Chain A
Amino acid sequence: MTLKEIADLLEAKVLCGHDRLNEEHETAFASDLMSDVLTLGDYNPVILTGLCNMQTIRTCEMGNLDIIVLVRRKKASEEMIEEAEDEGMVVMECDFSMFKACGLLFKAGMLPIF
């Protein structure tokens, strides 16, 4: 799916990385635990998380993960968006629960990485 299709499906607001919305991605990973996010090895799945603070951005930076969907109506701070922009990330805000967001993406063909 393209990131634009993902944003449309999740009714998400794209905060940064608008120039990357035509990129195709086929895997996703969901967790609120940043140590789990750091175990993903060489994969770069779309990250769905309800954790919304600077560590969300920093952790993804450390793990070379650059597409983040904030679920459960979490709102990114200006500082988070600035840092994500500096890192060339795509960040979206989605009002759906983690379960619903994951379910919609899975149904649409997005794959788990394990």
Chain B
Amino acid sequence: MHLEYQVFEADFVNAGAASSAIKKTLKQLNVNPQIVKRVVVALYEAEVNAIAHAYGGMIYADIEADKIIVKVVDKGPGIPDIEWAMQEGNSTASPEVRNMGFGAGMGLPNIRKNVDRLDVQSTVGVGTTVEMEVHF
């Protein structure tokens, strides 16, 4: 099953809509609730990142019999130092993002804790792709 969702820059009102839709789909497919929670927490952090830090982007989810692969592809500005961004507490979040309860530098570390595979590729001026895989 292939699912696609578009997310828009600074669209905080709808932040989480894609994650919520994927959560409902996984529940309908009777995926173990603990696995669903891991997928959704990681995806939600990535979705918020694309809305809060990037110029929006696309979320692609491929659900197979034994795993889900989610790719969040944003439109930039890209992460200059991924290693720095992966450390807890490091953030470039705006005050608006912090007012939403995010932006404490927990996003990427939270994603890493919840997935079986994480690949973050970023090119400054082009964008960031976060690919995550969770096994059922």
Contact = CB atoms under 8 A, between A and B. Distances in A.
Answer yes or no: are A and B bound together in one complex. Answer: yes
Interface of A: 32-39, 42, 49, 51, 53-56, 58-59, 61-64
A22 to B, nearest CB: 24
B28 interface: no
Given A42-B37, A62-B44, A34 B16 contact: no
Given A35-B104, A38-B45, A53-B100, A62 B40 contact: yes
Given A62-B40, A64-B33, A64-B37, A34 B19 contact: no
Contact of B101 (A34, A39, A42, A61): A34
Given A54-B13, A55-B12, A38 B44 contact: yes
Contacts, number: 69
A27 B136 CA distance: 29
Interface of B: 12-13, 15-16, 19-20, 23, 33-34, 37, 40-41, 44-45, 99-102, 104, 106-107, 110, 113
A58 B106 contact: no
B101 A59 contact: yes
A9 to B, nearest CB: 25
Nearest to A33: B104
A55 B37 contact: no
Given A38-B110, A58-B20, A32 B44 contact: no
Contacts of B12: 53-55
A88 to B, nearest CB: 13
A63 B36 CA distance: 10
B102 A35 contact: yes
B100 A55 contact: yes
Given A55-B102, A58-B15, A64-B33, A35 B45 contact: yes
